[in-house]
């Protein structure tokens, strides 16, 4: 199965934090994948994101309201939230 790659323009950014809605990414409600990549429109770099199991609320599935993802970069992690609207 091929990894999904989104454009960085699909997210609203504040420093190293991004946010997008499920419907903006998939055009209709869709359960977000366990992982995906984001390609920077500025630099062309691609970063891999996985579900953030250390994020508060992970154990409860964030009550289905959103999903948190993070990179595996220990020095400058980037986090994104996908909102279930």
Model confidence over 67-79: pLDDT tens digits? 999 998 888 899 9
Domain count for the chain: 1
**pLDDT tens per residue across span 10-37:** 999 999 999 999 988 987 767 788 999 9
- Provide DSSP, the chain: -PPPEEEGGGSEEETTEEEEEHHHHHSS--PPPSEEEEE-TTT--EEEEEE-TTSTTGGGGGGGSEEEEE-S-SSS--EEEEE--
pTM of the model: 0.88
Domain around 25 = 5-83
């Amino acid at each position: 199965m091929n990894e999904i790659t989104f454009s960085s323009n699909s997210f609203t950014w504040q420093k190293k934090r991004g946010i997008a809605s499920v419907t903006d990414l998939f055009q209709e409600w869709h359960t977000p994948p366990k992982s995906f990549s984001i390609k920077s429109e500025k630099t062309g770099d691609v970063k891999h994101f996985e579900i953030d199991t250390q994020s508060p609320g992970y154990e409860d599935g964030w009550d289905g309201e959103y999903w948190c993802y993070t990179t595996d970069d220990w020095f400058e992690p980037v986090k994104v939230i996908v909102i279930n609207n």
